[in-house]
Every structure is written in C-alpha cells, then in structure tokens.
Amino acid sequence: MKPQNYSLQRVSGADSESISHLDRRMEMTVLIVDDEPYMVDYIAGLLDWQQIGFDKVLTAGGGSLALDLIKQHSPNLLITDIKMPRISGLDLAEYIDENKLNTKVVILTGYSDFEYAQKSVHYGVTDYLVKPILKDDFQETINRIMEKHFSKECKAADTSGVLKDKKDVISFVQKYVMDNCEEELSLEMLSGIVHLHPAYLSKIFKEVSGVGLLCYITDAKMQRAAKLLEETDMKVADIVTKLGYHKYQYFSKLFRDKYGISPKVYRLEKRFVLEK
C-alpha cells in the first residue's frame, strides 16, 4: 500500500522565507569524542542522527581536537569518553561550563571510572552512560536529552508566525500516521511532509498530544496489528513484515507492552470470544 497523497492546508504564515529562517536558527550539531577510533565509529552509527534532528555529526579522536571543534562549532550535543590523554572528557565539560556554552554533555564511562564520572555533576553534565554502550539505552538517553533541549530551544518558534495553529498540524500528522501505519514512517519523513524541522515537529507533537511522535507511530501500528489479527487469517510473521518490522521478537515486545499478551494469544482469545 502506497502512502496516500496529503496536502497540509492550515499552516498559517508558513511561507518559504520563515521556514528557511527557522531551519537556520535551529541547525543542530553533535560532536562524538573518544580516543578509540572504533568507539567513535560505533557511537556515530548507533542512530540516524539526521532523522532525530541533527544536521552535522562531528567526530574527534581525542580531547585536543575536540576542544578546537567545540570552540569553532559550539555543538548542541557533546558525547565524550571520560578518560583521554592530555584533555579528558571532564576537561571538555569544564570548558563548556565555564564558558556558559549551550551544549548538552553525555559522558561515556567504564564501571571503574564511575566515581570519577560523578564529578561531572559539578560541570553541569546532562547524563552519563556506562560502557559497554547498548543501543536501546543510548537511544533512550538521547531522546530524553532532545526533548529537554528543544523544549527550551524551540520556545521562540511558538510566536515566530511559522505556525499559528499547531493543533491543526498535529491533527494532520496523526491522521497521516493512522492512514499509513503499514508504511515505514519516520520523524524525518513526516517533518518533510509538513515542512518543519524534525526536532520542532517532535517538540510540538508531544506538547499538543501529550505523547511522543515515535510512541504514537508505534501505537498506531499495534492497533493495526490487532485489527489484522482479529479480522484476517494472515500469519503473524506476515503481519510483522506488513507493518514494517524486521524482527518478530521486537514486534512481539511492543505488542505485549500495549495489550499485555502475545500476538498469537491475542488472536486466540478474540476468536474464542467470537465463537461463544
């Protein structure tokens, strides 16, 4: 099924000039720092940075280069190993704190460095992760930081004239998601449809609806899965694929989180009720 054609009708004042101004003002940069090259590559590859709102991904193999990049680019987010030769992750955090830069800092640390990492609290470090870095933990941490960060950064956009009625935009996005939930939906794709920066769309979606956009997409897919389980004889594996998931275990976990039982048990229970 191809996504339906949509046109957003009620985005008042959203001319191309104001949209361009919003995008420039909100350009996002992340800097990833570790003295182990494989760790830099690993962290950089954990997320689709553009999809969650970052325009630039900078990397550094040590604290000295990282400090130069911080001075040149003032990144919005710094992800750094705590122990490095000459200039450590704490040194970078201290520099950011002393110069009052608007940079969120995530410290990567080993278990043996935990007490050392706690010193980072004095430098306003946003969060820290203990190695080995797992993708789910990393993604959860970054999403949490993004929400907090953009609740401040995007505040000015509320009165910029780009969106005079955010509720109309969110209603549009919600309808699009429900109508196309069998497609591969992403924040980047949806933000392109409504001509907004991904991070700004994410921010106003949660502000208006009370839930995160990615959670809303997941919920819509689980509702469609339940409907297919009830009303068709499709194999569960085919439903998983139809809804854009690649691993049954992950799909089953999401389904259990919503309905409390596995997809197979859900189908059996619904059919038992109908037969009665």
- Indicate whether 139 pLDDT > 80: yes
What average pLDDT does the segment 127-147 reach?
A: 84
pLDDT tens profile 209-237: 999 999 999 999 999 999 999 999 999 99
Residue tagged 């009625």 (tokens): 165
Cα Rg of the chain, angstroms: 22
Confidence of residue 131 (pLDDT cuts 50, 70, 90): confident
Task: Please give the domain boundaries of the chain with CATH numbers for all domains.
Answer: 27-153 (3.40.50.2300), 215-275 (1.10.10.60)
- Indicate whether 273 pLDDT > 70: no
- Indicate whether 185 pLDDT > 80: yes
What pLDDT was estimated at residue 125? Answer: 85
Q: Which of 11-15, 40-44, 155-159 has the lowest mean pLDDT?
A: 11-15
Mean pLDDT taken over the chain: 81
Q: Which of 4-8, 95-99, 237-241 has the lowest mean pLDDT?
A: 4-8
Confidence of residue 96 (pLDDT cuts 50, 70, 90): very high
Higher pLDDT, 27 or 23: 27
Q: How far apart are CA 199 and CA 35, in angstroms?
A: 30
Q: What are phi and psi of 69, to 5 degrees?
A: -65, -35
Peptide bond into 198 cis (omega under 30): no
Q: What is the pTM of this model?
A: 0.51
- Indicate whether 268 pLDDT > 80: yes
- Which string of DSSP letters, residue by residue, matches the chain? -PPPP------TT--HHHHHHHHHHT--EEEEE-SSHHHHHHHHTSS-TTTTT-SEEEEESSHHHHHHHHHHH--SEEEEES--SSS-HHHHHHHHHHTT---EEEEEE-GGGHHHHHGGGGGT--EEEESSPPHHHHHHHHHHHHHHHHHHHTGGGGGSSS-S-HHHHHHHHHHHHHHTTTS---HHHHHHHHT--HHHHHHHHHHHHSS-HHHHHHHHHHHHHHHHHHH----HHHHHHHTT-S-HHHHHHHHHHHHSS-HHHHHHHHHHHHH-
pLDDT tens profile 41-90: 999 998 888 877 788 999 999 999 999 999 999 999 999 999 899 999 99
